[in-house]
Structure 1
Amino acid sequence: MKDQELLRYSKQIMLPQIDIEGQQKIMDSTVLIIGMGGLGSPTALYLAAAGVGHIIIADFDQVELSNLQRQIIHQTKDIGEDKVNSAKNKLIELNPEIKVTIANELVHTGNLSSLVKDVDLVLDGTDNFESRFEINKACVEFEKPLDSAAVISFEGQVSVFKGYEKDQPCYQCL
């Protein structure tokens, strides 16, 4: 680990649960975030700040004025821009040492395999059951942990699923 990385991540490295070895694992990780909305955008910022080495962001939408009060990765100047491009720029600005790949498309059965197969973790920030079930299916097929989150009004939920393990339910099992 370079001196700049040791300094950047020093507060995490000091935690005995992380230390240098754990930070290196974080830096070597690839995380797929599906949805750059109210859940995906702050998650992406925190993962970039933590040093996740490769973040893949998937979304098909453009930034709108009504997004700005909850999708904190985007700014007024980004209105009309594709969310993935806006987000990528902010993530690289926050941490130029990471790699950010974009998938400027609607996630569906036809493209999920290529997105999910080589990642370490999938974060689902979508807002409909059809997408969540398709993402879950791909995670089970490729044996990837799925972190699924949802928010409506003042309530939220987050769960981690390892449906590929015999004693663990998948998202659709619930």
Structure 2
Amino acid sequence: MPGDDLVSEPTLVSTRAISIDGPPEAVWPWIAQLGQGRGGFYSYDWIENLIGLDIHSADRVLAEHQRPAPGDRVALAPDGWGLDIELVEHNRLLVLGEPDGGLTWTFVLVPEDGGTRLLVRNRWTTAGRPIPFRLLMALIEPAAFVMEQKMLRGIRQRAERAA
């Protein structure tokens, strides 16, 4: 997938997908505005806020966040931790990555029978990281699965409503 080359030796790779009854143009606005202080993550906001992330998922398209560009920062937390936009193709692709190459989060929109197949891939490496970080990543993946599944359903709901 696009962006896979940014994490050369991943420790963890996950790929998730959902079919959406609407064209990529109806899905893209929700991808373009992902982020803390932007459109949110369309997942369980209450869980994210319980751990202090201050996430508020939008139920409308936010015009000010519709032109993501390489080099833009997408915040994941209010302390500034986030990912940089590495690649973007309007209505098709968004690749976010850590500057050190330790993580990518990729969103690909594929036209499918009048709708869209949304693919989301995470690639992490724990190489060279402290053992506590490695253990944390092992614990985070099950929670990330639950949160990302909800995010995919949240994007589908919003996009289908708009289509």
User: Is TM more than 0.5 here?
Assistant: no
Larger RCO of the pair (alpha carbons < 8 Å, separation 6+): 2
Give the number of the structure whose residues are more often strand, by fraction. Answer: 2
Largest Rg, 1 or 2: 1
TM-score normalised by the chain length of structure 2 = 0.30
